[in-house]
Structure 1
Amino acid sequence: MLSTLLSTQVFSQAKLSVENVHATYLRNSGTIMERSAIKGYFFFYLSDKINRSTNEYTLQILDENVNKVIDIKFQDSKQLSLLEAAYNGSSLCFLFKNEETKTLDMKVYSIDGKLKYSYTREYDKRTEALMKQYQSVHTDEGTNQNVFDLGDKGYVSVLPVSEGKQRTYQVDYYSSTTKKQWTFNPQDEEKYSMAEYLGSTDSLIILQVFKKNRALSGAITSHLVGINFMTRKLAFDIPDDNGDEYKFVPTNITHLKEQGKIMVMGNYFQENAKIMKDHSEGIAIIEINTKGKTVSKKYNSWEMDFAKHLPVNSKGKVDNLGYLFVHKMIKKPDGKLFVVGEGYRRQVSAGGIALNALALAGGRTNAGVTKIVVTDMVMMEFDDKYNLKNASIYDKTNNTAEATAISDYNSQHAIALYLKMTGSFDYEFTTSEDDNSNFAVCFSDYVRSKEYKGKTFNSIRYNGQKFVTDKIELKSNASSMKVFPAKAGSVLILEYFKKAKKIEFRVERIG
């Protein structure tokens, strides 16, 4: 275990500088957790250029005080690129793309830096959609879109694939305890399907899958799909109507392990609604068992329930905030549920209008006449029966998230998915005690005031009775920056200085 390995470190420090960083992507770094406690960090970078065809790469593991624990160095093709990384409590995994061998390589390392297993598969026309996805929307700020941990059991990748005219997905399981890998291919009748990973239990991989029969069709259905990674079989496929009075589109799940249930949150729509075009009626919270059977359901409407706490209309749009995107559900020991949301809305782009006017005169532009801004944070509180009891808005700057033509032509639901994929929301992460009795919701912001202009890092802390807000200023000359959770009351700040070829770490108190 990492805690044993780290016990050999007898000194502590709050800063660290790493030299000879020729290239790095901050999305390829992360935290090492043991239950809810921070135990360390990992990051991957290009450390040397050996010759024209070979590079040296380094995987660096740090303890919770940013002391170096171990360097894992290896040489490989300069055409090697790290796509995604994940940690599951006992190991680390990395998905590499090797353009020289035309392979996707999944490598699983133990915490002490030893390579445990390596899985390789060729990429071809079937995975062309995946390659395009990484090139177009996989940003340094984006979250993992294809590789996720399954606790100490291993990892799963959910990849878009194409087969002739059919567009579908593929689920690959990689064990971290034995050399074992298998693939699940859905047997859907529809020609087009897109899967989004929502979460997992100790035996299930849970996806939201959108399906349709024609490329330009607006007749899209949403399905909650469970795949048992122990039996390798489909556990359930729940359609959005499911014989109910409303259509339900899931967006978030939480495993209620002690109760043997899965809590699912999402938007609900009228029975005849087009789910990617029409407005929703409100937010539903549904509990299902591991076989996909509904145990309970509760609907909170925009018009009747949310309007008591927020200035919201019947279409779910909140004054000056826009539409709500749900980031996190936090279930407390007493049954109360807190839900973290963030606003986003479309607004007119003066610059986009000007550029489009120039385009009409013979120029070219991909700017839209509107843009998408992410707005305030929202904390919602539900009782143990999932009735909405309160909703509070926490102000922040309206930050531009998307200014291309995508904002002109897509629905609010499609835009929300895009913002999530590209890491364009300001929400960062949530830290909590094991039982969620205390927690802190963290987000970034960009302040433009007389006293300070620049990026800030903010927290909304719940101490079991009330909420308290804190923030720190993040003014820096770094090429890029990322903030990680740290020990209680602190955050770890990583700064990459591209010209100086170095990374600096520092731990700062917040609050």
Structure 2
Amino acid sequence: MMRKLLSVFVFLIGVYTISAQVKTIENMVKFGVQNSGAFLDEANDVDGYYFFYQVDKLKKGMREYAINILDKNLNDIALKKIVASKKTSLVAKAFNNEAIMFAFFNKKDRALTLKSFDKKANPREDITVAIEKKQARIIDMAIKAGGLSTMLHPVRNEGFILITSNYEGKGTGYTINFYPSNESGKPWEYKFVPTKKRGHHSVTPIALNDKFIVLVDVKTKNMSTKKEFKTIVLNSKTGEVFFTKAYDENDPKLISNAFISDDGKISVMGQYYEPKAKLAKAQSLGLFVNEYSEKGTVEFSKKIAWKGDVSKFLPVKDNNKLKDIGYIFFHDIIKTQSGEYYAIGEQFKKTVSALGVAMGILNRGAQTGGYTQLTIKDVYIFKFDKEFNLLAVKTFEKGKSRVQNLVDFGSPQFNAYQVAAIGGFDYIYSQVDVKRDRFYANFIDYERSKKEKGKKKKKSRFVFKTIIQDGGELSEDVIEISKKSKNYRVLPAKVGYVLLLEYDKKAKSSTLHLEKLNIK
């Protein structure tokens, strides 16, 4: 099936010693900027880039595609030519510091083909995975909407995990398959099949290393606002369960982040609520951190209340909402070498979507979601000490952006959890400079200047904003991004740089610019 379709490979490899800061990729007959990305190591430093695009249109519904692999300085590493059905789409990719894996989906055959290469682009044996009809439909809808699936995840120096849904039980479950990237590893499978009716489970990895895979299981009932969160920790090498922690109705928690310390402790962070609160409707009381041993024993626990703790730095109303701010969604938590923690958050509010209302009128109310939106604005950095006592909060102004909610029901906090899962916020990525003990938090910013005399409209510009933590001090730098074309993307780059990608549909080429940040 897919092995036959993905049959022709041409391997061209060339390594150059000169570091290129600008590069143009030609002959991109058909290219979506989402079909490009960076290969990141454990600190989110860049090892290279990939680009997947159509090169030629062949007979009988076949197409010639290319996978172009560059190093972090934009030098060519390899160009792979693939002949496949026009119904083939790249839906996921991952890099685990040893190998690169791509997941291709074929709509007609309802199959995934996993293709992997080592760092020198030497191919490995393909893996074909059959996909159930329901999930195939969901993947196809995601492709049409311009989004890519997050079903493939790297386990550093060990392999990759593929997450697929299963429908064997009374609700929706999931299956996790591990594929090793080295000879010492062995494949394994972890399967969850729900036994209760209408129990729909989804799972997301929030921290992975060569020992642990930390998962968040979210259970939802049909059209219900009741959500149940659970932490599951697996052994990376065997798939065996280290421990499971369920947050029941007497201790409801919404989990958003996790990190694994050097001594093997697992910290989980999120928001906590009043007993019996419905997470998709209720207002949280604050933030929480739980630290577990590999046996699931709670080694440390801390709550940071909106009223008692955050109110020392930001105005908090009686109902636990942040005054004139709305809410903050935390994307990442970074631990410095001195033992301090920084939580990187983004401000948002739930508002009515004018576009969603208009589309609802046109569709005569047939929409199931999209009448509301998240209005996203400033960046908030929370600084904690070793014991997670809140030390400071710093705000960085950022222009407004808006993203439609997937569903209209539920609390703003739960809507934000869903929007973040599809990359809807302005946050792009965080990067740690281990040698200098500093980090960079990176965002897209839609800046609006003041209205100029004699002009009807305000000027606006599209910029890349990076917030730098160095020696305990926070500062920012911005780089303007060209708006000549709508086909552009910002990608991570080597430490101290950002990569700007712009696709020229008329010239059928992409221009890549490595821009240096203003960092000493």
**TM-score greater than 0.5 by the shorter chain:** yes
Q: CA deviation at 1:170?
A: 1.3
Aligned to 2:69: 61
| Structure 1 Cα separation of the partners of residues 274 and 433 of structure 2 | 38
**Which amino acid in 1 is paired with 2:443?**
F
CA contact (8 A) 1:330 1:338 kept: yes
| RMSD value, Cα | 2.8
Match of 1:397, SS state, is: coil
Match of 1:419, SS state, is: helix
Aligned to 1:396: 398
Unaligned runs of 5+ in 1: none
CA contact (8 A) 2:485 2:503 kept: yes
| Structure 1 Cα separation of the partners of residues 365 and 95 of structure 2 | 47
CA contact (8 A) 2:333 2:343 kept: yes
How many residue pairs end up in the alignment? Answer: 496
1:201 to 204, 209, 215: 209
Q: 1:144 to 1:440 in 2, by over 3 A?
A: farther
CA contact (8 A) 1:139 1:423 kept: no
Asked if 1:151 is matched to 2:151, the reply is no
| Structure 2 Cα separation of the partners of residues 465 and 113 of structure 1 | 40
Q: Which moved more, 1:25-34 or 1:65-74?
A: 25-34
Match of 2:126, SS state, is: strand
Cα displacement string for residues 123-143 of structure 1 (whole angstroms, at most 9, x for unaligned residues) = 223xx1353155148855x57
Q: CA deviation at 1:352?
A: 5.3
Q: CA deviation at 1:7?
A: 11
Greater share of strand residues, 1 or 2?
Answer: 1
| Structure 2 Cα separation of the partners of residues 363 and 301 of structure 1 | 40
1:238 to 245, 254, 262: 245
Q: Which moved more, 1:203-212 or 1:420-429?
A: 203-212
Q: 1:101 to 1:188 in 2, by over 3 A?
A: closer
Q: CA deviation at 1:488?
A: 3.6
Matches within 5 A, 1:80-99: 80-99=88-107
| Structure 2 Cα separation of the partners of residues 130 and 171 of structure 1 | 17
Q: 1:339 to 1:130 in 2, by over 3 A?
A: farther
Q: 1:234 to 1:298 in 2, by over 3 A?
A: same
Match of 2:172, SS state, is: strand
Which runs of structure 1 show a deviation greater than 6 angstroms over 4 or more consecutive aligned residues? Answer: 362-367
Q: CA deviation at 1:484?
A: 2.0
1:341 to 341, 345, 350: 345
1:294 to 298, 305, 310: 298
| Structure 2 Cα separation of the partners of residues 79 and 7 of structure 1 | 30
Match of 1:231, SS state, is: coil
CA contact (8 A) 1:432 1:440 kept: yes
Matches within 5 A, 1:227-376: 227-241=234-248, 246-257=251-262, 259-349=263-353, 370-376=372-378
Q: CA deviation at 1:480?
A: 1.8
Asked if 1:132 is matched to 2:138, the reply is yes
Matches within 5 A, 1:99-248: 99-125=107-133, 128-129=134-135, 131-136=137-142, 140=146, 145-163=150-168, 165-178=170-183, 180-190=186-196, 191-212=199-220, 214-241=221-248, 246-248=251-253
Asked if 1:504 is matched to 2:508, the reply is no
**Which amino acid in 2 is paired with 1:310?**
L
**Which amino acid in 2 is paired with 1:333?**
Q
| Structure 2 Cα separation of the partners of residues 363 and 271 of structure 1 | 36
Match of 2:472, SS state, is: coil
| Structure 2 Cα separation of the partners of residues 363 and 101 of structure 1 | 35
**Which amino acid in 2 is paired with 1:342?**
E
Matches within 5 A, 1:74-85: 74-85=82-93
Aligned to 1:38: 46
Q: 1:359 to 1:8 in 2, by over 3 A?
A: closer
CA contact (8 A) 2:369 2:408 kept: no
| Structure 2 Cα separation of the partners of residues 75 and 86 of structure 1 | 22
Asked if 1:471 is matched to 2:473, the reply is no
Q: 1:144 to 1:390 in 2, by over 3 A?
A: farther
Match of 1:344, SS state, is: strand
Q: 1:139 to 1:506 in 2, by over 3 A?
A: farther
| Structure 1 Cα separation of the partners of residues 379 and 22 of structure 2 | 31
Q: CA deviation at 1:85?
A: 0.6
Cα displacement string for residues 432-463 of structure 1 (whole angstroms, at most 9, x for unaligned residues) = 12278211111001122258423111011111
**Which amino acid in 2 is paired with 1:232?**
G
| Structure 1 Cα separation of the partners of residues 391 and 143 of structure 2 | 37
Q: CA deviation at 1:206?
A: 1.5
| Structure 2 Cα separation of the partners of residues 508 and 6 of structure 1 | 26
Q: 1:97 to 1:427 in 2, by over 3 A?
A: same
Q: 1:316 to 1:202 in 2, by over 3 A?
A: farther
- Give the TM-score, by structure 1 length: 0.89
CA contact (8 A) 2:433 2:495 kept: no
Match of 2:67, SS state, is: strand
| Structure 1 Cα separation of the partners of residues 375 and 99 of structure 2 | 37
Aligned to 1:378: 380
Q: Which moved more, 1:500-509 or 1:297-306?
A: 500-509
Match of 1:415, SS state, is: helix
CA contact (8 A) 1:344 1:372 kept: yes
Match of 1:275, SS state, is: coil
Match of 2:125, SS state, is: strand
Q: CA deviation at 1:351?
A: 5.6
| Structure 2 Cα separation of the partners of residues 71 and 136 of structure 1 | 27
Asked if 1:446 is matched to 2:453, the reply is no
Unaligned runs of 5+ in 2: 1-11, 453-458
| Structure 1 Cα separation of the partners of residues 149 and 435 of structure 2 | 25
Aligned to 1:491: 498
**Which amino acid in 2 is paired with 1:321?**
I
Q: Which moved more, 1:471-480 or 1:288-297?
A: 471-480
**Which amino acid in 2 is paired with 1:423?**
G
Percent identical among aligned pairs is 28
Q: 1:354 to 1:151 in 2, by over 3 A?
A: closer
Q: CA deviation at 1:315?
A: 4.5
